[in-house]
Structure 1
Amino acid sequence: MKDLKINTAIQISKPVDVVYEAIIDPKKMSNYFISEGSGRMEEGKTLKWKFPEFPEEAEVWVVEVTPLEYVSFQWEGAKGKKLLVEITLLPMPGDNTLVKVTEEGMPANEAGIKWLAQNTEGWANFLASLKAYLEYGINLRKGAFDFMKEAAGK
């Protein structure tokens, strides 16, 4: 049986170079995704990402970067599982960019189905937040997940 795979996509009304920088630069990412990052996404680097709603840091291993086209990394996308995330940027007419995100590596079992639901929601939120930040200067994530802190007893 094949591993499960998340597929998400959104079109953003910005040129590919603007979208690419927003994805690889932690200062820009902190406006829609992470609270801070240890460096730019560059091939072979190991980074640390902090999220505003979680106390722990996420370790990110950057696998491949093709400027203005593609970024892939591995991270612990599920407890104890190193998963592959791929972000592909496709220029579209009128200075628009299609952003595709995939994540894969979980088996087709109960834990995998739970992961599929949670992380599909997460990547859809990532894309919507990226679009809101780049097109309107809004940080959709700010305060959006405070309920998670309360549920964890923070």
Structure 2
Amino acid sequence: MSVGFRVSGRIGRPVAEVFDAVVNPAKLSGYFTTLGGASAPLVAGTTVTWWKAVPVEVDEVVPDKRIVLRWDGGGEEGARYKTLIEIGFEPLADGGTFVTIAESGWRDDPQGRKSSYANCEGWSQMLSCMKAYVEYGINLREGFYPSEMRGELPTSETK
């Protein structure tokens, strides 16, 4: 059995603008991958780096609809495994966008559950930060983590 989660929220901007805030590295670096940034746009078949240290494999990009990513989910060195991240974008009648992020594939063991909880927290924060950034131009993440104040890269618990 694998462990997974789903978080979602409404961003008060058109779907094309919200989608661009995820695939565009300059925008993503403005609210989520703030320390170290995002190395390149999300393009299917590529691997980008977030936070100068985290490789993110881009499996699928359907403009204004869906992004599918994979990255290291956990495990001991040499026994790492990938989790699957699916980001969906749904246009709303009021002109906003409903964003859903699901991550699955965590092992059902103490470390897998712990890592999945940390990433669930991180993706929930990403949605909140994206809302503030896209709607109001505010970067909520700057200085949020003590490691960022010391100039360190985030760990799996602070992504």
Q: TM-score, normalised by structure 2?
A: 0.85
| Change in 2 beyond 3 A, CA 1:90/1:140 | same
SS state of the match for residue 62, structure 1?
strand
Q: Give yes or no for the alignment of 1:12 onto 2:11.
A: yes
Please name the residue that 1:30 is paired with. 29
SS state of the match for residue 37, structure 1?
coil
Cα RMSD of the aligned pairs, angstroms, is 1.6
CA distance in 1, matches of 2:148, 2:140: 15
- Please list the CA deviations of residues 64-101 of structure 1 after superposition, one character each: whole Å capped at 9, or x if unmatched: 01100000111113242211111000011111100000
CA distance in 2, matches of 1:93, 1:61: 32
Which of residues 41, 59, 63 in structure 2 aligns to 1:63? 59
Q: Give yes or no for the alignment of 1:48 onto 2:44.
A: no
CA distance in 2, matches of 1:113, 1:86: 19
- How many residue pairs match? The answer is 145
- Please list the CA deviations of residues 13-37 of structure 1 after superposition, one character each: whole Å capped at 9, or x if unmatched: 0000000000000000011111322
State whether residues 10 and 97 of structure 2, in contact with CA within 8 Å, keep that contact through their aligned partners in structure 1: yes
Structure 1 residue ranges without an equivalent (≥5): 51-55
State whether residues 11 and 97 of structure 2, in contact with CA within 8 Å, keep that contact through their aligned partners in structure 1: yes
CA distance in 1, matches of 2:149, 2:82: 24
Please name the residue that 1:101 is paired with. 101
Residue 99 of structure 1 aligns to which amino acid in structure 2? V
| Change in 2 beyond 3 A, CA 1:149/1:106 | farther
Q: After the TM superposition, which segments of 4 or more aligned residues of structure 1 sit over 6 Å from their partners?
A: none
Structure 2 residue ranges without an equivalent (≥5): 153-159
Residue 5 of structure 1 aligns to which amino acid in structure 2? G
Please name the residue that 1:39 is paired with. 40
Comparing 22-31 and 71-80, the one that deviates more: 71-80
Deviation at 1:109, TM superposition (A): 1.5
Residue 31 of structure 2 aligns to which amino acid in structure 1? Y
